[in-house]
Structure 1
Amino acid sequence: MASVRVLVTRPAHDAAEWVRRLSEHGIAAEALPLIDIAPEPPSPALRAARQHLADYDAAMFVSGNAVTHFKLGSDQLFFETKSAVAQLDQARAAIKTRAWSPGPGTTAALLRAGWPAARVDAPAPDAGQFDSEALWARVAPQVHAGVRVLLVRGGDAEGRAAGRDWLRERLAEAAAQVDTVVVYRRRAPVLDGAQAQRARAAAADGTIWLFSSAEAIANLRQCLADVDWRAARALATHPRIGAAARAAGFGVVLDTRPSLDDVRASIESLA
């Protein structure tokens, strides 16, 4: 496997973790972040969402970054106060807010942040996909008229809510009350000379591009608009991402589930 190189295109923090995990399994991986993540500046809406989290029946976090940036600026765990430990435990027991997670990465971030595992809803570990559709299959029975749901998500470079509205549409159809809060911004990266050179080489040298977002593919095309991708190879962690890679001109695109074991097996199949 050492002869095969993999470019991990997730945001920098996530990419570093994936590089570490792949390297532990003998895969020569390196990071080339194609999405830049920045915290949303403080705002009354963000402060209100943090302060009134327990007023919601459920909070849907679109990603691990959503969890991290929702808590940014506070060292406290979810729902913590300055109360004594006994009072804190009692308060936690009284809070009924459920966390909705689209996949294992978000679930892990919630647990690290102190959200009780018994109040996290997510697709089964062996689900065919980790996305809004798989999550909805799990949480739809919780939703009825008047249920309050907070969508915690990312925004574009100007802070406008970005991403799919599929889950919001299902909630609206069920007459749920839905609020949205943007907690981070997703921006196109500025590739330095070495990064641009590496990306150009990876278009034709057999490197495997690991894509977990169609936005990363769009940013790559924006950064290197003159590159021909017909000789490039890619792994995509969702069929929609695979479709974006094919539309961008990648010659070989393999769809894979986003778990480490599935990604490893897919890399091995392309080696």
Structure 2
Amino acid sequence: MARLVLTAPRPRVLALAAALRDDGHEVLELPFIEIESLADEPAQRAVLADAAAFDLAVFVSPTSIDVFVEALKQPWPDRLCPAIVGPGSLEALAAHGLDRHPGLLMPAGPPFDAASLLALPALAAPCSLRVLVVRAEGGNRQIEDTLTERGARVTALAAYRRQALEVDTQARETLARWLGSDPSAGSELLVVVTTVDSVRSLGELADGDERTRSLRAARALAIHPRIAESLRRDGWARVDLIGPGLAGLRGALESVPGAGEGSPQRSGRECD
């Protein structure tokens, strides 16, 4: 059993926390971002209504999948093929019954990111394809710009907005208590980091309270090499690179002494 600090955005962190508690772990939800769907805005509704006219939908994250599918309000269009960056997004597709789509595009191995997706042969010359890129408001334009340069007809759908969250008092108290407990008691503290922005927020949290100054001494689990490098630059001494998604985290926990000894039954839920 481990003590896990989860920094994934809300509401995705809620499902991840529930699955890990079912596994027998203690979990602290510490989201720094909340996702606000923009699907009901007029411009977004117009794009969603035209979803069947696209050949490819590129999803930049599990959140983009959840927001899009929940807002679609129609069966998945037959001609629309999903393209995703990695296993975390594959779990999100599975939750909606879309992980076995015959036209699914995903990098075969790490690093799971936009560059690896764009390197797939199927996207080398997407001439005349109508491509929908589903991302956050103000999100990275790398995918849409690259595909446009390669000849695709690209539409960007800003499906959601990221809103900053304040860490609540109860979460601060729990984190301070965990950091102040005896590490030999058997439950190692593990901080799961899913974005570079979370590294910054964790640093501010550590530096803002005397009781949490030892946070960087905890073991951090990063889902991408860029996040791991950012953690190391920020002073985290123990950083492990893990696979994305719930499956990647569960696999990493199996290698942590004592962490894989939680509940003998697992929920089987797949969420990022």
TM-score interval (norm. to shorter)? 0.7 to 0.9
Letter in 2 for 1:48: A
Q: Structure 2 residue aligned with 1:69, among 52, 67, 70? A: 67
Stretch of structure 1 that moved more, 36-45 or 200-209: 200-209
Instruction: Tell whether the 8 Å contact from 2:87 to 2:244 is kept in structure 1 after alignment.
Output: no
Match of 1:255 in 2: 241
Distance verdict in 2 for CA 1:142–1:66, change over 3 Å: same
* 1:253 alignment partner, SS class: strand
Distance verdict in 2 for CA 1:75–1:144, change over 3 Å: closer
- Stretches of structure 2 lacking an aligned partner (at least 5 in a row): 182-187, 258-272
Stretch of structure 1 that moved more, 180-189 or 135-144: 135-144
Instruction: Tell whether the 8 Å contact from 1:202 to 1:232 is kept in structure 2 after alignment.
Output: no
Match of 1:44 in 2: 42
Q: Structure 2 residue aligned with 1:123, among 76, 89, 107? A: 107
| 2:102 matches 1:104 | no
Instruction: Tell whether the 8 Å contact from 2:62 to 2:89 is kept in structure 1 after alignment.
Output: yes
Match of 1:176 in 2: 152
Letter in 1 for 2:103: R
Match of 2:266 in 1: none
Letter in 2 for 1:264: R
Match of 2:117 in 1: 135
State the shift of 1:232 in Å.
Answer: 2.6
**Residues 190-229 of structure 1: pairs in structure 2 closer than 5 A:** 190-201=166-177, 207-222=189-204, 225-227=207-209, 228=213, 229=215
Instruction: Tell whether the 8 Å contact from 1:190 to 1:223 is kept in structure 2 after alignment.
Output: no
**RCO higher in structure (CA 8 A, sep ≥6):** 2
Residues 179-233 of structure 1: CA distance to partner in whole angstroms, max 9, x if unpaired?
Answer: 2111111122122111122334555655210111112223334555525344232
How many aligned positions are there? 246
Q: Distance in 1 between matches of 2:97 and 2:43?
A: 23
State the shift of 1:100 in Å.
Answer: 0.6
Instruction: Tell whether the 8 Å contact from 1:57 to 1:149 is kept in structure 2 after alignment.
Output: yes
Match of 1:84 in 2: none
Distance verdict in 2 for CA 1:45–1:224, change over 3 Å: farther
Match of 1:236 in 2: 222
Instruction: Tell whether the 8 Å contact from 2:88 to 2:246 is kept in structure 1 after alignment.
Output: no
Give every structure 1 segment of 4 or more consecutive aligned residues whose post-TM-superposition deviation is greater than 6 Å: none
- Stretches of structure 1 lacking an aligned partner (at least 5 in a row): 80-91, 156-160
Match of 1:82 in 2: none
Distance verdict in 2 for CA 1:270–1:225, change over 3 Å: same
| 2:139 matches 1:149 | no
Residues 135-178 of structure 1: CA distance to partner in whole angstroms, max 9, x if unpaired?
Answer: 223354463333221110112xxxxx22x333234313313222
Q: TM-score, normalised by structure 2?
A: 0.77
**Structure 1 vs Structure 2: percent identity of aligned residues?**
28
Match of 1:88 in 2: none
Letter in 1 for 2:173: Q
Letter in 2 for 1:246: R
Letter in 1 for 2:67: H
Letter in 2 for 1:194: Q
Match of 1:165 in 2: 141
| 2:227 matches 1:246 | no
State the shift of 1:76 in Å.
Answer: 3.3
Match of 1:187 in 2: 163
Distance verdict in 2 for CA 1:113–1:268, change over 3 Å: closer
Instruction: Tell whether the 8 Å contact from 1:204 to 1:232 is kept in structure 2 after alignment.
Output: no
